[in-house]
Amino acid sequence: MRKDETMKTTPYVIGAIVVGMFAAGSLGAGTSSAQGEALKGAGAEPGPIATPAKYAISEHASFDEVTRRLAEQGFEVMDYELDDRRIEVTGLTATGHCMELKFNAVSGKELRRKRDDDCRPGDDG
């Protein structure tokens, strides 16, 4: 590649990198702990809750317990299903994404998650 070709493509490459960093959440997202403490002292509201790597519910959790525990982690439950081995919850993350979560009904450990498109309140399917 010649020098003049490199100069023409460089802005596009840098732009793609910056857009990718925004999409990944590593640029412009949240505040550092020092910034967060400074904002708390100034009376500012904290930012949105980050989506955890794994949501946590307690062992043998009831519907009320699951709803409360997930709400503490920034997840709004829209639909709940329970069978002998699995709890399936559909709802909105703190960032507004519709997500389906599956938990082991006995241990409460998250087994699987996937994006969903069925988070309308009162929707029965």
- Confidence (pLDDT) at 53: 82
* Residue with token string 């994404």: 97
Q: For 95-120, how does the pLDDT look when each residue is reduced to its tens digit (9 = 90+)?
A: 899 999 999 999 999 999 999 887 87
Q: Any idea of the CA torsion for 41, 43, 47, 49, to the nearest 10 degrees?
A: 80
Spatial CA neighbour of 100 closest among 121, 73, 119: 119
Cα(51)–Cα(102) distance, integer angstroms: 15
Q: Is 56 helix (H, G, I), strand (E, B) or coil?
A: strand
Query: How does DSSP assign 67-107, residue by residue?
Result: HHHHHHTT-EEEEEEE-SSEEEEEEE-TTS-EEEEEEETTT
The string of pLDDT tens digits covering residues 66-105 is 999 999 999 999 999 998 899 999 999 998 999 999 999 9
Helix (H, G, I), strand (E, B) or coil at 50: coil
